[in-house]
Structure 1
Amino acid sequence: MLEYEFEEVACDEGGGGWSPFGGFGMETVAHQEIIRRRAEEGWQYVGFIPKRQRAGGFLETIDLVFQRQRPET
């Protein structure tokens, strides 16, 4: 059976924000560090979910989604 975990990443550092309709003004590398760390722990990155979004469509935070096979007990 698979288990899932979620890790929040801020997308609004620097005030620009990111929009799924054509982002501007911001670049984050925090997600790369998180994905690498999780991979070392046996987790696989499977996607992201917008968590908090401004009225203009700009994402403020996302949840990175990770899965792995649940250890047999």
Structure 2
Amino acid sequence: MEYRFEQVSVEPFTTPKSSELNGHRDIITRYAAQGFEYAGWIPVQQGPSGKILKLDLVFAQK
């Protein structure tokens, strides 16, 4: 089984308690077109309050 990882950054809103993930749907669609399945995500960077700032989307291909 082959795995691929794509890192996505979480973009902060103007208020400190909110944020938005952008671009993840395009990435998932692109990998699906190549025969990969979305397998999950892994946090790779967190802020001091514990908010996730960056994550890896994980894709698998049999």
TM-score tier by shorter-chain length is: 0.7 to 0.9
Greater percentage in strand: 2
Shift of residue 29, structure 1, vs aligned partner: 3.3
Aligned-residue sequence identity (percent) comes to: 35
- Preserved CA contact (<8 Å) 2:38 2:60: yes
Provide the TM-score with structure 2 as the length reference.
0.85
Q: Which has the larger radius of gyration?
A: 1
Shift of residue 55, structure 1, vs aligned partner: 1.6
Bigger shift: residues 59-68 or 4-13: 4-13
Structure 2 residue runs of 5 or longer lacking an equivalent are: none
Between Structure 1 and Structure 2, how many residues are aligned? 62
Q: Please say if 1:61 is aligned against 2:54.
A: yes
Provide the TM-score with structure 1 as the length reference.
0.73
- The equivalent residue for 1:36 is 29
Give the counterpart letter for 2:41 in structure 1.
Answer: F
Cα RMSD (Å) = 2.0
Report the Cα distance in structure 2 between the residues aligned to 1:17 and 1:35, rounded to whole angstroms: 28
Report the Cα distance in structure 2 between the residues aligned to 1:16 and 1:39, rounded to whole angstroms: 34
Structure 1 residue runs of 5 or longer lacking an equivalent are: 19-24
